[in-house]
Structure 1
Amino acid sequence: MDKRIIGRQETADLPTFGLMNKTVKIDSGAYTSSIDIVNVRLENDLLFVLFEKGKEEVLFKKYKVKRVKSSNGIIQERYVIKGTIRLGDIDYNTPFSLTDRSGMRYPILLGRKLLNKHFLIDTSKKNLLQNTGDVS
């Protein structure tokens, strides 16, 4: 399969999280994709609040805990869940680490684990893919 060209930022749907038409940053320096969350807690299942869902909690039964080195070099333990992201007209299943990105410009980063298999990045461009799915 040929790799698709994407820009340094794209618009994506994340149906697993109920998010549509969201700007995502392409981050070839990150291994795993990540998404901004708050109030994460474990009660038999993993519960957390997404960056823009207010107080509505998201529940995941399947998750892992992994050690991740952040961009400032600090190693953190993070919950990692699998989710679907739609870029253009194709859905991809990929892991997302859950972290507080409230001080960052982009709440969603796409890392190499997704990018390496499917995309080439043109850092001089933005929004090269167009989602054809429903936008809510």
Structure 2
Amino acid sequence: MIGWRETVSLPDLGLMTFRAKIDTGALTTALHASGISRIEVGGKPWVEFLPDHGSLVDTSLCRLPILHSRKITNTSGIPDERYIVATTLQIGEHRARIEVSLADRTDMTFPIIIGRSAMRLMRLTVDPARSWLQSPRIADPKERQDQ
């Protein structure tokens, strides 16, 4: 059982302990990324990008093979062509290799949404009335911090 908000990690990308929204309305997990560009590595399509996991710490450039690209309807209802990559997701003690779309989530509260396909792979159920069931709550860096 997980809550509608959890602390997650993408260890393959070096992104540890950041806030995620669990989104049963989304099929695919989506990670906020900037500077997304397609490159060739050994004659095969790869993507390089800067992931943003809501930390105030700078993030290193990531490079991953492109599994495929497809149109995914964004929160405004507009189809958006996105690169899909594979990486490891960890929520509490649960870990799986999942597909992730790279998207501009600049205006969104959470840098990542976890979609149904990842939940199904990890055999997770969501309690929409609760948060932080698999992990401790971490503060949102955008929230005002009292000194």
How high is the TM-score relative to the length of structure 2? 0.80
The SS at the match of 2:84 is strand
Check the 8 A contact 2:5/2:20 in 1, yes or no.
yes
Q: Aligned Cα RMSD in Å?
A: 1.6
Check the 8 A contact 2:65/2:85 in 1, yes or no.
no
Pick from 125, 128, 131: which aligns with 2:130? 125
| Residues 23-62 of structure 1: pairs in structure 2 closer than 5 A | 23-44=19-40, 45-52=46-53, 54=58, 56-62=60-66
Give the structure 1 partner of residue 143 of structure 2: none
Larger deviation: 27-36 or 37-46?
A: 37-46
**For structure 2, which runs of at least 5 residues remain unmatched after alignment?**
41-45, 137-147
| Residues 1-12 of structure 1: pairs in structure 2 closer than 5 A | 5-12=1-8
Q: How many angstroms does 1:13 deviate by?
A: 1.5
Aligned letter for 1:121? Answer: V
Larger deviation: 61-70 or 72-81?
A: 61-70
**For structure 1, which runs of at least 5 residues remain unmatched after alignment?**
132-136
Q: How many angstroms does 1:39 deviate by?
A: 0.6
Q: Which of the two has greater strand per residue? A: 1
Q: How many angstroms does 1:27 deviate by?
A: 0.3
The SS at the match of 1:119 is coil
Aligned letter for 2:117? Answer: K
Post-superposition Cα deviations, 1:22-79, rounded to whole Å, max 9, x if no partner, equal: 1110000000001000011112131111115646311112431111111221011000
Instruction: List, as ranges, runs of 4+ consecutive aligned residues in structure 1 with deviation greater than 2 Å.
Output: 52-56
Aligned residues: 127
Identify if the C-alpha distance between structure 1 residues 62 and 78 changes in structure 2 by more than 3 Å, giving closer, same or farther: closer
How high is the TM-score relative to the length of structure 1? 0.86
Percent identity of paired positions between Structure 1 and Structure 2: 27
